[in-house]
Structure 1
């Protein structure tokens, strides 16, 4: 039969984590409510973007190029995240690691060429 006492540290860890999370979420709200001036009005509750009211309907569609640029940024940001550890450990992984990274970079270059040909990088 399983001794349930061995799960006590895990339950204690979960209780502390739950307590700290609740404290980090609810304590600042309670302190601000008690110490600050809580007087909502139309100006405080209005939605704004970049410090001024929005020009258009909030449910308007964005141009797909915003998403394409964001996806390209994430792809090449991840490439940089993979290149640093690869460069640091290049002497240990040898030619096989070098060839693998060259295949990875070649695939990314093919994706960049494809996006360029499709006009994802053209802005009007």
Structure 2
């Protein structure tokens, strides 16, 4: 019990010391226009860096990440086929496939997959 408490206090103190040292020796104390402006090949920016971001692009990228993760989850199913009960494996694969196709169907009906509107 005391060992865990000692370890916790040591880690906490080390973290506080490192954060304090970072604040003390940080070189980013002075803010000037050149340091706070976006870098564009050494020139002043042509347009404002705070232009509105396309929400459609963000939505498509999130959908891509979700389905990409689902594909990564599908990869271990193939080797596990040899070591599990075939009926259980087929049942799990069908459930996962139906959920994946259902998600695509919902996104399609919602209109999220259309880039230009």
Fold match, TM over 0.5?
yes
**Secondary structure of the residue that 2:62 maps to in structure 1?**
helix
Residue 105 (structure 2) aligns with: 113
After superposition, the Cα gap between the structure-2 partners of 1:43 and 1:72, relative to the gap in structure 1 and judged at 3 Å, is same
Q: How far apart are 1:108 and its partner, in Å?
A: 0.8
Residue 59 (structure 2) aligns with: 68
Residues 50-106 of structure 1, C-alpha deviation per residue, up to 9 Å, x if partnerless? 8444253xxx6853x244324312321321332233333332222203321221122
**TM-score, scaled relative to structure 2:** 0.65
Residue 36 (structure 2) aligns with: 45
After superposition, the Cα gap between the structure-2 partners of 1:26 and 1:78, relative to the gap in structure 1 and judged at 3 Å, is farther
Number of aligned residues = 109
Q: How far apart are 1:8 and its partner, in Å?
A: 1.2
Distance 1:15 1:77 in 2: 41
Residue 99 (structure 1) aligns with: 91
Alignment of 1:2-21 (within 5 A): 7-21=1-15
Contact 2:57 2:115 in 1 (8 A): no
Going by fraction, where is helix more abundant, 1 or 2? 1
Specify which structure has the bigger relative contact order, considering alpha-carbon pairs within 8 angstroms and separated by 6 or more residues. 2
**TM-score, scaled relative to structure 1:** 0.62
After superposition, the Cα gap between the structure-2 partners of 1:79 and 1:41, relative to the gap in structure 1 and judged at 3 Å, is same
